[in-house]
Amino acid sequence: MEFDYPGGNGAWTDSRCRVSSYSAAAGTLTMDEPCWADTTQRSSFSQASGGLPSMSTSTLPGLVEDAQVLMHPGQWYLNSAANTLYYEPSAGQQMSSLDVELPHLESLLQGAGTLASPLHDVTFRGLQFSYATWNAPSATAGFSDVQSNLHMTGATNQGMCAFSTPAGSCPWGALTQPLANVSFTASNDITLSGDRFAGLGGAGLSVMYGSTNTLIQGNEFTDIASTAILFGCTYDPLPTDPSEAAGIKQNCTPNSSAVSGDTIGTNEILTGTTVSDNIIHNIGTDYTSASGITLLFSRDTTITDNDLYNLPYTGITAGVIQGHVDQASAPQNSTNINEDNTISDNVLHNFLQARSDGGAIYAEGHQAQYAYEANGTTINQTQTLAQGLQVTGNIAYNAPTADFTYYDDAGSEWINWQGNVAFGAGSASQGGCSPTGNFWITGNYFSNSTQSYPCAAPVNSNASGNTTISATPAAGAIPNTLLTAAGVASAFSAPAVAAGPQIYYTSPTTSTTTQVLVAGEGFSSSMPVYVSGTQASGVQYLSGGFLIVPVPAGTPASQISVGTPPAGIRLNDTDPTISYSGFSYSASRGLGDYDNDVHYATANGSTATLTFSGTGIAVYGEQYTDQGNIGISIDGGAQQTVSTLPSDGQRHSNVAVYTATGVAPGNHTIVVTKLSGTYATLDGFTITDS
């Protein structure tokens, strides 16, 4: 049995520990170690920005899991000792129709070289990585959460070292990080492109230990228990410190003996990573403190043009935990090798859906190496900032519980926040608690305040040239150039488009509104937009995530839909959402067809396909003596045969030849196939929603 404590070690955490035993006579539960001690007796510290909280031993769990007696419909239980999987079907489910996957492997792909002889020049393209597990949290280690799925598995002071001499020589935050089901260490020029990471029990992908020039482009990450992508290692903030070499080999590689001959230094720094045009959504499904992308320690990392949404916690985190012992008055208690990293032109929305005290982009600790003037003591601000973290052109929205959209937290320093957008995403658009400072906040479009520092204030925080926008911005409030540049490029948007477009934000309308800003996922330039049931013209397609839609004055935002036609409207056979194979077009027939036109086929096997959202659909065509049977299939189910021969021998135009009701709510696909007769005709569809 496992007890889960959402928020137990801080609002951003989700610790879970197993029950070791229960004594009915004594009325006591005994919890597994070291998880329980790590969670409830966590060593703290008093310097800098404050402690990492322990949890009271009297805290009640928010969830109790892994107990067969607690099973409800739709839940499962694995008895490992008996090699038996139990499942209680939901109402109406048939076991014979289910596809059940029980993952066994923890590693699907592992690329590992040495620093002297790295794995190199390998491309993984068009693959799917699915069905892997991560056993440690459910075994003796438990999951004593600290932040962003970094957790304790040993002593209660793991990662919270005493301040050392000189300051910064101790690797603060050397915590256990999530297992990645796909991982690379000491690997150069690796490309992962057009792949899908789905149905995974750990992190999706990790890259660390001296890897260089990794390209991660155009992939989809979804249905992942932990973080999607993890860069760097908690044990290597300072690989140039010889005393850390053994810990790095032990904790940052899959096999420390295989790299025993490596000399650790600057060659161990993760460099030249590019993460672009990836779609990351619905991750952290088990471990809800997961960030979409976790960037620990690296140089020349570029995270750009990605879409991250439907996330339980933070979107992208940089340097998490490592800055907790620093602030403006004590900036050098911990140091690292970070510099020249960029987070740009990403779209982040609907984050912080389970945890709190995070942001769209969250930073901690040092983000640059200091550059000095000729005197050797004065920091050259321009040069140092140029080597710092560049956060530019990102767009964040729909996270009302966020404290700060762009969050420079404990010990963070040397960050350039420029040209970003935030609306409806927090009580402050930029700020944090006990950062070190040296921030420039310029040219942003924010619906809330900047430089919000409720704890110890930073040094040298500069804000200028920022524009205040509404929390519900209208079309034109944000420059189209920013909306166009952000997010996944159309060449890599296939997964989102295939899943169907979805609206996440529509700007409010008034009696004088003539255009609205629409934000979402899966938009394409060929995608129809409907306003009050009629296909709109003049739509400005800005990117896969943003549209500007003309509307008649006074149109409610609820009357705007994209992609799949809304329920309650009639679609003509010319509607662009219908795709044809083997059908031809005929207009001006004068036979009573809807809009005086039809599509027709003469070859058996010709198809017309429509994806729709609703609970019912009617197929329109003609009934006549030269027609025969058509086949109807919904969502790949068994094909039903429908006759389009008239019972009275007369032509009947614009009639519903097939009607389905009681379809489950949601998106569906119907396929109409010509089976027999000289002709088959299609005159459109009507979609209903009960």
Task: Single out the residue of 322, 343, 363 nearest to residue 276, CA to CA.
Answer: 343
Residue 4 domain flag: no
Same domain, 310 and 378: yes
Three-class SS state of 658: strand
Same domain, 651 and 519: no
> What pLDDT does residue 142 have?
93
Same domain, 517 and 391: no
Task: Supply 323's token pair.
Answer: 């800055």
47-51, 55-59, 366-370, 401-405, range with the lowest pLDDT: 47-51
pLDDT in tens, 105-156: 999 999 999 999 999 999 999 999 999 999 999 887 899 999 999 999 998 8
8 Å CB contact between 275 and 256: no
Same domain, 546 and 458: no
Those residues whose C-beta lies under 8 Å from the C-beta of residue 491, and which sit 6 or more positions away, are 218, 277
Taking only Cα atoms into account, the Rg of the chain, rounded to an integer number of angstroms, comes to: 29
8 Å CB contact between 365 and 334: yes
Q: Which domain holds residue 588?
A: 571-688
More confident residue, 322 or 407: 407
Name the band, by pLDDT with cuts 50, 70 and 90, for residue 350: very high
Those residues whose C-beta lies under 8 Å from the C-beta of residue 85, and which sit 6 or more positions away, are 76, 77, 78, 79, 100, 102
Residue 188 domain flag: yes
Q: What average pLDDT does the segment 584-592 reach?
A: 93
Distance CA 343, CA 438 (A): 18
CATH number of the domain within which 461 lies: 2.160.20
Same domain, 313 and 454: yes
Rounded to two decimals, the pTM is 0.87
Q: What average pLDDT does the segment 322-332 reach?
A: 88
Structural domain count of the chain: 3
Using the 3D structure, point to which of 524, 544, 563 is the last residue of a domain. Answer: 563
Name the band, by pLDDT with cuts 50, 70 and 90, for residue 10: very high
Render the burial of 363-376: b for 16+ CB within 10 Å, e for the rest.
bbbbbbbbeeeeee
Using the 3D structure, point to which of 468, 503, 523 is the last residue of a domain. Answer: 468
Q: What are phi and psi of 536, to 5 degrees?
A: -80, 150
Same domain, 520 and 443: no
Same domain, 584 and 549: no
> What pLDDT does residue 634 have?
93
Same domain, 214 and 238: yes
Q: What average pLDDT does the segment 624-646 reach?
A: 94
Residue 476 domain flag: no
CATH number of the domain within which 672 lies: 2.60.120.260
More confident residue, 586 or 99: 586
Residue 554 domain flag: yes
DSSP string, 172-197: TT--B-PPEEEEEESEEEEEEES-EE
Q: What DSSP designation does 166 have?
A: S
Same domain, 548 and 576: no
Same domain, 327 and 442: yes
> What pLDDT does residue 688 have?
84
Residue 12 domain flag: no
CATH number of the domain within which 501 lies: 2.60.40
pLDDT at 163 over 80: no
Using the 3D structure, point to which of 542, 563, 584 is the last residue of a domain. Answer: 563
Q: What average pLDDT does the segment 89-101 reach?
A: 85
> What pLDDT does residue 165 have?
72
Same domain, 387 and 457: yes
Residue 201 domain flag: yes
Residue 205 domain flag: yes
**Residue positions counted in the chain:** 690
Residue 212 domain flag: yes
pLDDT at 299 over 80: yes
Same domain, 502 and 575: no
Q: In 3-state terms, the chain is what percent helix, strand and coil (to 5)?
A: 10, 40, 50
DSSP string, 600-634: EE-STT-EEEEEEESSEEEEEEEE-TTB-EEEEEE
pLDDT at 224 over 60: yes
Q: What average pLDDT does the segment 535-562 reach?
A: 93
